[in-house]
Structure 1
């Protein structure tokens, strides 16, 4: 791993009692560095994933209040805990990653899977009432397949997948929308699964949970509370992690490892942003059903 020394120097100079701070090794992406010991990391609160709050009235196909990366609790308020974490972004190898806080008790993976399935079925039923597609085309575009693994499961759709890994009482979600454009009218979910399941299984087998300040000795990629072992060392990425001093909650530390350089290359989040603006510009009802599904299944 690379070892930037600037972050240590900057933090050391920020505190008059810096000599009393204890420093420990931590890692983000392909970098290893030192941070003060009394640190917390902004991730999504577990309640927003396993016990999401239902809206009083569904907004189209969206029936739950989405969770956010935060230092605080799961709520629908843009408070200081959420504002301080607003630049956090976990992108790795074309995956949009969700990481949760640690649950107080062991997670019931089957109840969690069942809740996600019910939510997807709700969205499909909503889409069915507004689409002009034929039944055959709609069924092709909205079919999904669930694969169950040890401490994990994955939803495969016609052009995307979501891998959920449940370890150390945390939820890790790797969402991959492979194509920036819709699949062909002949591609099926079965085709997509056959072409991508080996990649999903490889990622799952190489993923390891880790504790804060636990830096693996083997080559790989660090994310908050997780590690992907034995990758190429050059994966496309935009890993932006925000830390906060527990004793000085007004002090946040942001570290980014990105594979792009402005202005030559844009990160995936901005490519996705242009895609989302295209959805808004062309109008929901004018888009193919694959666009509906891609937008609503995130």
Structure 2
């Protein structure tokens, strides 16, 4: 048997051994500053399932320091390695600088908002019928959230805070009138902040076009491809819908959107032409 054949066999075993013991690629996501991330359990299970079929192995770790959205986007754009993956509301600007995986993991729920108010103002929106009726009320938002510009562009007043947790105390202190939260967030937040004088208004909902995507740093193209392929597999085998309902069906039911006045807002910061609106299975409809 030729000598080169043995060399080839040895090389194959050596390569196979190296591949089998290859260290997974570390992918970092922003360590949240909030006491609890109402999205994290869902996102974590979705990521685990989506990446399970990938031939490349990944290890997901939080960033070393807590990080707000604006800082995370900056780190990803500049390829510092501090953050490689972000899940957030999309904007045209973010889609230009990062790799947007255009599968709305929230099915658009992030654009369906109902408000926290202080206890004595639980009837504050009882007579609201149009967006014009909201102009005298001030909403609270974190400074670098895309929602700030969306609300302002629709003529609504917005007060901002430098941190998410501060918003609950600011609302309780009367610094603004309401804190609009997604129906996929608000019920968990109510539990976490049960000690505060905050209630969920039962009268209105705000709605604007929104998509909650995974964003990947431009220098992590292979990870973006593997994640996209994994998510598409979950969509086609029905696991995506099962996970979505597992985490969000109860919140949707509690929101009672059909019994609320829905105020429609425009979102000039996300071009509908760039959204996968033709895939009806990816969008929630009340």
Structure 2 length-normalised TM? 0.30
TM-score (norm: length of structure 1)? 0.29
Please tell me whether Structure 1 or Structure 2 has the larger radius of gyration of its CA atoms: 2
Select the structure with the greater relative contact order (CA < 8 A; seq sep ≥ 6).
Answer: 2
- Of Structure 1 and Structure 2, which has the larger fraction of its residues in helix? 2
Instruction: Considering fraction of residues, name the structure with more strand.
Output: 1
